[in-house]
Amino acid sequence: MLIGSRQRISTFHSAPTLTLEHVSHTKSLGVQIDENLSWNEHINKVSKKIASGIEALKRIRPFVPTTTLQFIFNSLIQPNFNYCSVVLDDCSKILADKLRKLQNRTARVLTFSNYGTSANPLI
């Protein structure tokens, strides 16, 4: 079945052919989906975005008020943690730990805490 305007459909001289191609991963609505649904590709991409956001926070932290840091966190970093969080609940322990470490690191940066500080009370 072809769907389109009469003018557009009349330009086809024969039915279009459909070809399927196997890919190891694809992007849909900002989510990287791999063939095994392991979320490796997606979490790696998200981790890079979060890590660069944390580094930006660290660089500007001495020059801006805490409220501004919170606004920047809420606009640049927090959406990466929240988007598809329901799907990410099913990821492996290694990938979940990777996200947890980034979350702990972010909490330490926002609260001006040292690396050795426990992140549980900060979060």
- Model pLDDT for residues 27-86, shown as the tens digit of each residue: 888 888 888 888 888 888 889 999 999 999 999 999 999 899 999 999 989 998 888 777
Side-chain-side CA neighbours of residue 58 (13 Å)? 14
The answer to whether residue 18 scores a pLDDT higher than 70 is yes
pLDDT-derived band at 8 (thresholds 50, 70, 90) equals: confident
State the pLDDT at residue 48.
93
Q: For 61-73, b where at least 16 C-beta lie within 10 A, e where not — what string?
A: eeeeeeeebeebb
Domains of the chain, residue spans: 37-110
State the average pLDDT over residues 92-105: 90
pLDDT-derived band at 1 (thresholds 50, 70, 90) equals: low
The answer to whether residue 104 scores a pLDDT higher than 80 is yes
pLDDT-derived band at 120 (thresholds 50, 70, 90) equals: confident
Distance separating alpha carbons of residues 63 and 65, to the nearest angstrom: 7
The answer to whether residue 110 scores a pLDDT higher than 70 is yes
Check: CB of residue 120 under 8 Å from CB of residue 108. no
